[in-house]
Amino acid sequence: MKDVAEKAKVSVGAASRILRGDQDRFAQDTCDRVLEAARELGWRRNLLVNGIQTGRTQTVGVLIPPYDSFWVSILSGIHTRLSSADYLPITVWSGDLKHMPHFEADNQEGFRTITRLLDRRVDGIIMWPPFSLAYHDHFPELRERRVPVVVIDHRTENPVADTVVTNEAKAAKAIAKHILDLGHRRVACISSRETLAQSWALERRTSFEEAVTACGDVEMKSWRLNETGSNGAEVAYELLTDSLKPSAVFAVTDHEAAFVYEAAHKLGLKIPEDISVIGFADLDFAAQMSPPLTTVRQRPYEIGVETASLVLSRIETGEAVSDFSTSKIDADLVVRESTGPAKDRA
């Protein structure tokens, strides 16, 4: 800093303020000299010192699992928005990929991970549902310290943070309309694990059930996976061989839809001639399934941008939050070849 000040012929204090962005009190020529001197000398701001001076580290902890295309796209949106504001995301997750999707096998890992981020004085935190449960149970003092937290895809009766979610009710109505317009009146739903961390799955299933049964003349039945999500193939087989004999199946994610495809193949059922299947998320493999999967395309990049914008807004205001907000992001029905007109099954 002394070298920059000497080269620009200004005081060290003036150089410091200009390089921190406080340029309003100085002439443009003075600012230009300081910035040019810093560039020529290769000066870079010491963010550790800057954090001590300002109380901010320009970092945001991001606790989500990049294990499929949905979460990777969310990460992309978060990274783009934070970078545009000169913030750095510190991305971490718990568990091991071999445990997918049961990442929360070690319930204390979320607690330890949040603690590590707080010890590094992040300015805000973005988290997915399992971490949200740890936050709810262990970190009431975090709210008192006014560290902003935004949670993706998780809502509770007593919210403890701002949330960004998919507009499940609106998407469910679009799915139900598509199925009913094709003449289906015996409808099944295969849900995910619906653990405490999967409030999105519960809301998605119940929204679909409400939208379908509102028609009045539909037989409807739902199944869900066990707590570890290890019996998807078995549940799909049970669903297709049930006395309901559904002609259409809604899967709360494309992962569950893949189980239905597997079970239908074993039973000799053709998709969509014998059974229509519709998923949710439009993951990167959905269009390559055989036949290509009709699904709901979420907007993960938009979710990521909205999440980062919300946490940045909370950081900038620095005010205690009395009313937590919920941002709902729309999703789009993508009709492919896995749905067709209803056909009676023998």
Predicted confidence at residue 137, as pLDDT, reads 66
Rounded to 5 degrees, φ, ψ at 285 are -95, -10
DSSP line for 174-236: HHHHHHHHTT--EEEEEE----TT-HHHHHHHHHHHHHHHTTSS-EEEEEE--TTS--HHHHH
pTM of the model: 0.83
Based on C-alpha coordinates, what's the Rg of the chain?
25
Of the candidates 195, 196, 192, 197, which has an alpha carbon nearest to the alpha carbon of residue 208? 192
| Helix, strand and coil percent figures for the chain, each rounded to 5 | 45, 15, 40
Each residue's pLDDT expressed in tens, for the chain with a length of 346 residues? 889 899 889 898 888 888 877 788 889 999 889 889 888 888 776 655 565 556 678 899 998 876 788 989 999 999 999 999 989 999 887 666 565 555 555 556 777 788 888 888 899 999 887 777 767 666 666 666 678 889 998 877 777 789 999 999 999 999 999 999 999 999 999 999 888 878 899 999 999 999 999 988 999 999 999 988 889 999 999 999 999 999 999 999 999 999 999 999 999 999 999 999 999 999 999 999 999 999 999 999 999 999 999 999 999 887 666 688 899 999 999 999 999 999 866 5
What lies within 8 Å, CB to CB, of 157 at 6+ separation is none
Q: Determine whether 4 is exposed, middle or buried from the number of CB atoms within 10 Å of its CB (0-12, 13-18, 19+).
A: buried
Two tokens, residue 169 = 């009710």
Strand 59-63, strand 88-92: pairing: parallel
| Type of residue numbered 106 | D
Measured CA to CA in angstroms, residue 193 lies from 42, 158, 212, 341 at distances of 53, 22, 21, 30
Task: Tell me if 188 sits within 8 A of 239, measured CB to CB.
Answer: yes
Instruction: Name the region of 109 (left: φ>0; alpha: ψ -120 to 50; beta: rest).
Output: alpha
